[in-house]
Structure 1
Amino acid sequence: MTEHLRFFVWKQITLPLKALMNGCDIVFCTDFFVPYINLNFKTIPVFHDAFFWEYPEHYNKYWLKIFYTFGVGAAKKSAFISTPTDYAKERVLFFLPVTPEKIITVFEAPKTLIKNESLSTGKINLNTKKYFLHIGTFEKRKNLVCLVEALHLLRLEGFTDYSLILCGQISPKNDMDGSAELLETIRKYNLQEYVLMPGYVEDGDLSWYYRNAELYLFPSVNEGFGLPVLEAFQNDLPVLVADNTCLPEVGGDAVLSFNPYNPTDLTTKLKQVISNPEIKLRLINKGRKRLENFSWEKTANHFLEIFKKVKH
C-alpha cells in the first residue's frame, strides 16, 4: 500500500506542482499515468498496451483503482495519448471512449546491445550444435508451451540437432506465471536436455544469445510492441512470429508468421527456414531493411512533432 501511495503522491501532487513552478507547457509520461489536474500545462501519456483492461486479475486492486480512476480519467483529459503500435491503439480505443485522432502511434526502438565475445556466465551446456531462441518472462500469454511442442514435433521428423533456449524469469504473479505448464510439457516430451532456461540475462550476454542462435521464435498471443523482434534484426537473426496482435505489424515482410495455437504450423515453418538457406538469408536481409524504420531518433522526432502540435 505504501508503494501505491508514494506513486499517487508523486504523480498527482508533486509532479503537477513541480511542472507549474517550472513553467512547463507539456507533461509527458511514459508509464500510462499523467497528472489528473492540469495546472496550466497539457499532458501526454504513453499507453504501451491495454493489459490493465484485458487482464485485470493480474493487477493489485490498488493499482487497478489508481488506473481506472486517475490513469483513465487523466488520459481522457490529455492532449494526446501515444501507443507504440496501431494494434495497441485499436485495443486502447476498444476500452477508452476517446476519438481515434486523440491516439497517435509512435514506434519504439531497440537499444544498442553490448556485443560480448563470450558469455560472462561461462559456456552453456548445449547438447546440440544449434538452438532456437526466445527472450522474455514466462507469462502465460507468452505461450512458450507452443515452442516446446514444436521442438518435439521437429525432433520426431528427424531434426534432432536443435535445442531451445528460453531466456527470462518466472513471473512473480502466480496467476500470470506459465512456468508450471512449461516445465510439465518439457518433462512430458523428455526434453530436459534440449530446453535450456538460463534465467535473467544481462545486456552484455543478450547479444551473444542472439548472434549464436539459428532462429528467434515469438509465439506470444498478446503483445503491445514486441521489442525482441527488432533486437533479433539487429543481430541478423531470422524471426518467426505469431500471426496475431502487433507482431506482424512490427515485423512487416521481414518475418515469417505462424498460428500460435497450432504447434504443427510452427514446425512446418521451422522446417521451411532451416532446410532452405535462401529463405533464411532473405529474412536476414529484410530484417536489416525493416530495422531502418525504427530508431530512437525517429521516435524522438515524432514526439517533437506532437509536442509542437500541442504547443500551437
Structure 2
Amino acid sequence: MEKTIVVGIDIRDLKIAKTGTKTYLEEICRAFKKERPGIKFYFFDTILPVYIGKNKILKIAEHLRFFIWKQVLLPVLALSKGCDIIFCTDFFVPYLNLGYKTIPVFHDAFFWEYPEHYNKLWLKIFHKFGVQAARKSAYVIAPTEYAKDRIAHYSGLPVNKIISIPEAPKTLLSTPSLSTGTLKLKTSKYFLHIGTFEKRKNLYCLVEALHLLHQQGFTDFSLVLCGQISPKNDMDGSRKLYEAINAYNLTDYVIMPGYVSDIDLSWYYQNAELYLFPSVNEGFGLPILEAFQNKLPVLVANNTCLPEVGGEAVVTFNPFDASDLADKIIPIITSKERRLALIEMGNERLKNFSWERTANELIEVFKKAAQY
C-alpha cells in the first residue's frame, strides 16, 4: 500500500490577499477539500489578526510577524502533522526544509519588474528569503508559460524547476437584485473592466477608445470600471484616467462603482456588452475566463500572457493605440453573428480551465516532489 502524502497548505494569506491571489487560494482550497485517495491536506492559519493599515511602525511589526510565521510557526505546524510538502501561494515558503519539501506559487514577476511599487523592507525580505527559499524548493508553480519565462529570467531559477499550471475562473453567484438603475447609466449598454486602477492596467486607453467610438456615432455605449484606486502612489494610475475622462467630457459615460463584492460581480459581467482588458502586464488574467463564463466577447491587449490565456477566443489589440481598440470593437457591436461566434469560442476555450484540473496537476507535482 502506497504511503499517504501529507500536504500542508498555508492559508494565512486569506487574511490579506485580494483579487486574483485571493481567488487562487480560496478556489484551490475548496478543490483540495474534496476526498482524494493517497493524499491528506492540512490547512494552516495563524490565530492572530493581520495588520493591513498604513501606520509605518505597525507595518514593520507585521513584516516581522510574517517572517516569524513563515520561518518558525509554519515549519513547527508542518512537523507536528508529519507533512511531506508545504505549499504556499503567496511567493514565500520556509527557508529551512525540516523533513518536508516546499513548493511556492509565483504568480508573476512584478517584484522584479516594478520594484518601486513595493516597500523597501518587503522587497529585501522577498529577495533574501522568498527567492532563496524558492531555490531550495522542489518546484515553483507559475500560472502561465509567459510568467514562467519571466520568473526564470529574473530569478535565475532553472526553467525545468518552474512548472506552469493554469488557473480557472472565480466561482460567482448571480444577483438579480441589482439593476442598470443602480449604475445610473446614461446609456443602456456598457463595456466592462474589472481590476484595480494601477498604471499597468492602462485604463485610460479604454476612455480614449470610448471617445473615438462616440465620435463615430456609437454614443449608446458607456464604460464601467469596477475596482479601487491603488493605495500606493507609484502604482496608482487613476490620475491619468480621470484626466482622460475630463478631457473627453465623458464623466456621464464612465461609471466607477468601486470595489465590487463577489456577490455582485456576476451581475456586472452578465449585463455587459463585452469585456475589455488593456493591461500591459499580467501574470494570468482571470477576468478573461470569468468573462467567457458569463457569455461575453473578450478583447485583450496583444502582450504578456493575455493571448496565451485567451487563445483564439479573444480579439487582440495594441494597448498603446486606442484607435486600434475602437476599430476592433466596432465589428463586434455591429454584427450579432460576430458576437455570437466569439461567445461560442469563449465557451470552448473555457473547457480547458477548471480548478479541478488545477488541483489535479498540483497533486501530481506534490507526488513527484515527495519522491524527489
* TM value normalised by structure 2: 0.83
Who is 1:60 aligned against?
A: 119
Once the 2 structures are TM-superposed, how far is the Cα of residue 123 of structure 1 from its aligned partner? 1.9
Identity of aligned residues (%): 68
1:168 maps to a residue whose letter is G
Matched, 1:136 2:170: no
Of 162, 170, 175 in structure 1, the residue corresponding to residue 229 of structure 2 is: 170
Who is 2:365 aligned against?
A: 306
2:93 maps to a residue whose letter is V
1:155 maps to a residue whose letter is H
2:126 maps to a residue whose letter is F
Matched, 1:115 2:174: yes
Alignment size in residue pairs: 312
Once the 2 structures are TM-superposed, how far is the Cα of residue 194 of structure 1 from its aligned partner? 0.4
Aligned to 1:240, what secondary structure does the other structure show?
A: strand
Who is 1:8 aligned against?
A: 67
Whole-angstrom distance in 2 between the partners of 1:185 and 1:29: 40
> Tell me, which stretches of 5 or more residues in structure 2 are unaligned?
1-59
Who is 2:264 aligned against?
A: 205
Who is 2:206 aligned against?
A: 147
Matched, 1:272 2:355: no
**Does structure 2 retain, via aligned residues, the 8 Å contact 1:118–1:205?**
no
Aligned to 2:299, what secondary structure does the other structure show?
A: strand
> Tell me, which stretches of 5 or more residues in structure 1 are unaligned?
none
Of 68, 73, 79 in structure 1, the residue corresponding to residue 132 of structure 2 is: 73
Of 127, 141, 155 in structure 1, the residue corresponding to residue 186 of structure 2 is: 127
Deviating above 6 A after TM superposition, structure 1's stretches of 4 or more consecutive aligned residues are none
Whole-angstrom distance in 2 between the partners of 1:199 and 1:120: 16
**Does structure 2 retain, via aligned residues, the 8 Å contact 1:113–1:207?**
yes
Whole-angstrom distance in 2 between the partners of 1:238 and 1:309: 39
Once the 2 structures are TM-superposed, how far is the Cα of residue 122 of structure 1 from its aligned partner? 6.3
Who is 1:254 aligned against?
A: 313
**Does structure 2 retain, via aligned residues, the 8 Å contact 1:218–1:241?**
yes
Whole-angstrom distance in 2 between the partners of 1:98 and 1:168: 34
Whole-angstrom distance in 1 between the partners of 2:89 and 2:134: 12
Matched, 1:92 2:127: no
Whole-angstrom distance in 1 between the partners of 2:287 and 2:229: 18
1:48 maps to a residue whose letter is H
Whole-angstrom distance in 1 between the partners of 2:157 and 2:264: 43
2:124 maps to a residue whose letter is K
Of 211, 218, 240 in structure 2, the residue corresponding to residue 181 of structure 1 is: 240
**Does structure 2 retain, via aligned residues, the 8 Å contact 1:134–1:218?**
yes
Whole-angstrom distance in 1 between the partners of 2:100 and 2:175: 45
Whole-angstrom distance in 2 between the partners of 1:137 and 1:123: 21
1:13 maps to a residue whose letter is V
* TM value normalised by structure 1: 0.98
Whole-angstrom distance in 2 between the partners of 1:212 and 1:284: 14
Deviation by residue 1:210-255 (Cα, 9 ceiling, x = unmatched):
0110010000000001010011011001100000001101111110
Once the 2 structures are TM-superposed, how far is the Cα of residue 12 of structure 1 from its aligned partner? 0.8
Whole-angstrom distance in 1 between the partners of 2:363 and 2:248: 52
1:27 maps to a residue whose letter is I
1:138 maps to a residue whose letter is F
**Does structure 2 retain, via aligned residues, the 8 Å contact 1:120–1:205?**
no
Once the 2 structures are TM-superposed, how far is the Cα of residue 183 of structure 1 from its aligned partner? 0.5
Q: Aligned Cα RMSD in Å?
A: 1.1
Matched, 1:244 2:300: no
Of 345, 350, 363 in structure 2, the residue corresponding to residue 291 of structure 1 is: 350
Whole-angstrom distance in 2 between the partners of 1:19 and 1:113: 32
Who is 1:33 aligned against?
A: 92
Aligned to 1:302, what secondary structure does the other structure show?
A: helix
Who is 1:105 aligned against?
A: 164
Residues 121/63 of structure 1: CA separation in 2 closer, same or farther (3 Å cut):
farther
Once the 2 structures are TM-superposed, how far is the Cα of residue 65 of structure 1 from its aligned partner? 1.0
